[in-house]
Structures are given as C-alpha cells and as structure tokens.
Amino acid sequence: MDIFDFSEGREGYYGEYGGVFLPEILHATIEELLECFRECKADPKFWQEYVSLLQNYSGRPTPITHLENLSRKLGGAQIYVKRDDLNHTGSHKINNVMGQGLLCQRLGKSKVIAETGAGQHGFATATMAAKFGFECKIYMGAVDVARQRPNVFWMENLGAEVIAVEDGQKTLKDAVNECMRDWVTNMADTHYILGTACGPHPFPEMVSWFQSIIGLEAREQMLKQAGRLPDRVYACVGGGSNAMGIFQGFMNDDNVELIGSEGGGHGVGSYMHSSRLAYDDASVGVAQGYKTYFLQNDEGNMNETHSVAAGLDYIGVNPIFAHLHDQGKVRFEAATDIEVKEALKLTMRTEGLIPALESTHAFVTAIKEAPTMGKDQIILINQSGRGDKDIFTIADALDDAKWKSFIGGKADQYRGENN
C-alpha cells in the first residue's frame, strides 16, 4: 500500500482528509514547492545526499537499544527502542529540517521561517540555517517561550530570531498562524519549514518522506538485532511526524500493529488534553491549510488544548493518520500527564534513558501493554527525543528540592549582578 499514490484529481488527499486550503496569494508558492518536491523525490541522488548529510552531521543511523531490565521487570514482551534522541539537537526534528534545507537550496530561497512548540523543531531549524547560511526566524507561542527557555537560548545563540507570538492561546497553533502571515508576505525569498506532517499538501507527504528514514533504518535493525519484525510499534503523536517516520517502515507488514500515543493531558472528559483520535472530543474541520480532526467546538472555533509535553499540545492531527485511523491501520491511545511522569521515572531508573516528555507518551502505552503480551513477543518504541531539554518541567513534576534550591541560588546570583 502506498498512501502517497493519489488517485486522479485527489492529489494531497488521504481519504477525505488533507488538501490545500490556503489564500490565493500562496497558490503559486505552494505549486512551486510541490514541483520542487516532486523533482527531489524522483531524484535518487537527492535522497543519497540527504542520507549522507544526516550520517555526517547528525549521527545517523541512530541505534536500537534492547531494554532488557524494563522487559524483565514488566514480565511480558521484549522492549526495543529506536534512539532518535541521539540525533544532533536531540530529536527526530533534524531529519525533516535537513531535508527541507536541501530542498530550500534547490528552491533558491535565502530565508527560512518555522513554527515551534516544544522548541525542538525551532532548535533544529536554527541549527540547519546556521550550517546552510539561511536567515532564520522562529515563531513560538509566548507560553511556550516561557516554558522552554533553554531551547530559545540555543536558537538565539545559533543566530535565529525568535518571535514570541502573543495571539490566541499563545502556543503551537498560534505560531503556525503567524508563520502563514509571514509567508503570505515574504514568499518570494522565504521557505516555510513546517515542522510536522500537517498543513497543506505537500507538507504532510514531504515531512513524512524525510522522516521515513527512521522506519527504514528501524525495520532493518530489528531484523538484524532481534531476528524478526516487532509485533507492535509505538510512537507519540502530536502533529505525527515521528510516528509517520517509524510507522512507514512497517506499513506493508500486516503482522505489525502500529500504535500512536496522544497527549491525554488531564484525561478523558477534562477538555484539557490534546487527544484528537484516542478520545471522542475532536471532529473534522478545516484550519491551518488542511482538513483533519481538530479539537474544536460545534461552530468550528478551536478549543483550548493541553499536554505536559509542549510538542504534543496541538489542535490537529496529520491527515494521513486521520485516514489510517478510519481504516483501522493505526490504533490510537492517550497517555495522561500523570502517567507520563511515572513512566519517565521508571525508564530513567531501570534503563538510564531519559526520553523527552513527548516520547514518554509512547512509553506509557507500551509499558501498559507489554505485561499483557508473551515473553516471545517484541515491541518497538520510538524515542523521538531526549528529555534533558525538559529539565525544568521534569524537576517541577518531581518536586525536586535540590533543583529548586539550585535555581533559587542562581536567581539570587543574577539579581545580585543586575543591582
């Protein structure tokens, strides 16, 4: 099955989802992007250049780790983890960004803009822009700027301009709107590096294509290391790019079950979550350039969303997943904030791994299900990012007294310097 093999007149559609819903002024820009992407996708040299760039710059292929301690402790399936946290800049985001950087060179544009939630995509974009010599602007919701200062620090030091977006809920969706506004003004010399498999066509296909490197590697590695394919593959789903990335490696393997784990926030019925498919609160709508399931009210205005992981805190899900969910090809579950904190502690203590809060959502679902599976069964989790960027959030969640006293001391020191 090739989900990107569109039928006549339905290019960019996955079932009834996807499409291009943009102002007329961007029509020529999106056509130009589509044409360039088609050329790149058809050119084997482009993919070779992309892979070699990631090998030399980002440390690919990332390894697969067998979590023997955790598997033993849970007493069920053998757990393996794809280590995309070991990429340069600490997450899978760099894959897409490097790919779009190469594509931006082909487009001949000198500036890049990007939205960011957790800051990982912004951090990766700023890194790529520094390497390729692009001028770089990152739009980030003011709430996210406040909760992800370490990433903002790095973006700025890498030479990017970080703009705090004060509209709406001041989170990821508002940063996307602001990127759109920049793009309709500056499209002549600016490429919009969308960070996830959402937005108007060809972004869902393009981002998925670049991220497919995760699944390509993982399938081969599992065969080599575990001797066979996993029974289940788990990934967290915000927009859904890391999940699309790893799932594509197993899309044609009917015996591999694919499970997406969304941001359950405060849980079912709380209306403070980011679960578009696992809970029943979302409905089909059109916003931010595409049609998919959105967390919105009956009149089509978006609801407030929440997740402890800024990177999952988003109103919509990629249109490919909306379709694969309808088809029963991917199962969706949710992990609540509380479950995420517990799973993170367990993973750190038993395996010495620190997954990002986003990726920990996949761990939650896997940890719940592993004990119900046989010891001869195998599961694979995508650890899409590393958790040290979340140190402030995690320290708060763990109520770590020594950390608080350290930060208090630092604050006193800075105050002293300012006086």
Partner 1 sequence: MGLQSFIAERKQSKDILVMAHVVCGYPSFEENLQELEIMAEAGVDLVELQFPFSEPSADGPLFVRANEQSLKSGTTVDQCFEFMKLVSARFPFKVLMMGYYNTAFKMGEAAFVKRVKDAGGVGYILPDLPIEESPELHRLSEEAGIEPIILMTPTTSDKRLAKLGAVSRGLVYVVARKGVTGSKTKMGDDVLALVERCRQHTDVPMGVGFGISSKADIDVLRGHADIAIVGTAALKIWEEGGASGLRNFFAELMA
Do 404 and 347 touch, CB atoms closer than 8 A? no
Choice between 237 and 287, CB closer to partner 1: 287
**Considering only residues 59, 150, 168, 267, which one is a binding residue for partner 1 as defined by CB under 8 A?**
168
Give alpha helix (H) positions in 305-379.
Answer: 319-327, 337-351, 357-369
The one segment of 16-24, 43-51, 75-83, 353-361 that binds partner 1 by CB under 8 A? 16-24
- Please, what is the angle between helix 337-351 and helix 357-369, to 10°? 80
Does 302 participate in binding partner 1 (rule CB under 8 A)?
Answer: yes
Choice between 24 and 280, CB closer to partner 1: 24
Q: Which of residues 213-272 bind partner 1 (CB under 8 A)?
A: none
Tell me the per-residue interface mask from 24 to 43 with partner 1, x by CB under 8 A, - otherwise: xxxxxx--------------
Choice between 19 and 355, CB closer to partner 1: 19
Q: Phi/psi zone of residue 9: left (φ > 0), alpha (ψ -120 to 50 degrees), beta?
A: left
Which residue numbers are catalytic? 93, 115, 384
**Considering only residues 245, 285, 319, 387, which one is a binding residue for partner 1 as defined by CB under 8 A?**
285
Which residue is listed with tokens 């940063």?
175
The 8-class DSSP code of residue 63 comes to P
Residue in 366, 358, 361 with CA at minimum distance from that of residue 386: 358
The one segment of 77-85, 300-308, 332-340, 368-376 that binds partner 1 by CB under 8 A? 300-308
Choice between 120 and 288, CB closer to partner 1: 288
Q: Which residues pair with 386 in a beta bridge?
A: 355
Which residue is listed with tokens 């001949």?
108
Do 119 and 310 touch, CB atoms closer than 8 A? yes
Does 10 participate in binding partner 1 (rule CB under 8 A)?
Answer: no
Distance of alpha carbon 103 from alpha carbon 106, whole angstroms: 5
Does 274 participate in binding partner 1 (rule CB under 8 A)?
Answer: no
Residue in 58, 85, 81 with CA at minimum distance from that of residue 69: 81
**Considering only residues 301, 372, 405, 413, which one is a binding residue for partner 1 as defined by CB under 8 A?**
301
Taking the complex as a whole, how short is the minimal distance between the CB of residue 258 and partner 1, in angstroms? Answer: 29
| Binding footprint of partner 1 on the chain (CB under 8 A) | 19-29, 167-168, 173, 176-177, 180-181, 184-188, 283, 285-289, 296, 298-302
